Amino acid sequence: MGTNKAIATIGRTKEILEKYGFSFKKSLGQNFLIDVNILKKIITYAGIDQHTGAIEIGPGMGALTEQLAIHADKVVAFEIDQRLLPILQETLAAYPHVEVINQDILQAEVNQVIKEQFRENQEIKIVANLPYYITTPILMKLLMDRLPVTSITVMIQKEVADRMAATPSTKSYGSLSIAVQYYTYAKVAMTVPKTVFMPQPNVDSSILHLQLRKEPPVYLENETYFFDFVQASFAQRRKTLRNNLARFFNNQFSKDEIESVFIACEIDGTRRGESLTMEEFATLANQFYRKRNKE
């Protein structure tokens, strides 16, 4: 088996699949990349160099892992599917600085792994081709765990990438946009056609680049309350802020009390959630939170 050929080619991918009798698991959302140029672009967008530590989620057969290994100082990859471990052992045999961990990223103590696997104060970046069905939970866990990483560059479903990077008053803007942008600067780097995957998914993908913020963009009295408040504001997109929040407060405040907060914040209650900036949401949520805790 010629190892000089990149894994991310149709020929080599088929060769490995046949050798190991590997069948794709729908439940794990397995779509392997078969285009080396796209992988190189991901490496470039992520800004990986010989000083960087890289964390990968779902290496599959090692197509992206191989490219990371060529450019990075150290690579740690989390793979949930045990059937892929012998394959990865073979495809990555030439790269002793790659560590594959057979663990579900949602259960993993990533902070602990970082302490054990990387040099102290090493710059670490997360790079992954994420399974569609679980993209949002994975990204939210990585962000909420406040890992010591500088950026996250992921290949995800185009529609989800658009939602994460959306700006106010656009169709894609919603609670997910605000949650992601509270922690990061989000940017869609490029759209990727479904033809570069095997098996081919039904939708196009995008490479999303998230640069982690050093400081939150807004002051919050309580983060959990803020995210619940934002989610409630988008509960029914066509309804006004006033109507959506009335359901959220569930008789906690009278209509007049709710109105007085809108007036104090200089925000019109007849607006829809999608027209509010993160700053406006923070102002409102903080005011309601203080009001609730005074009573």
* Known binding residues: 31, 33, 58, 79, 104, 129
Closest C-alpha to 95, from 69, 67, 126, 118: 69
User: CA–CA separation, 230 vs 208, rounded Å?
Assistant: 23
Q: Which residues are annotated as a binding site for S-adenosyl-L-methionine?
A: 31, 33, 58, 79, 104, 129
User: CA–CA separation, 41 vs 103, rounded Å?
Assistant: 27
Q: Considering Cα of 32, then 36, then 38, then 44, what sign does the dihedral take?
A: positive
DSSP state, 23? -
What secondary structure does DSSP assign to 84-139, as a single string? GHHHHHHHTTT-TTEEEE-S-TTT--HHHHHHHHS-TT--EEEEEE--GGGHHHHH
Other C-beta atoms closer than 10 Å to the C-beta of 220 total: 17
Answer whether the bond into residue 199 is a cis peptide, omega within 30°: yes
Locate all alpha helices (DSSP H) within the chain, ordered by sequence.
10-20, 36-46, 63-71, 85-91, 110-117, 135-144, 158-165, 175-183, 223-233, 241-249, 255-265, 278-294
Contacts of 151 (CB under 8 A, 6+ apart): 46, 47, 125, 126, 209, 210, 211, 212
Query: What are residue 192's DSSP bridge partners?
Result: 205
User: CA–CA separation, 158 vs 234, rounded Å?
Assistant: 21
User: CA–CA separation, 44 vs 70, rounded Å?
Assistant: 12
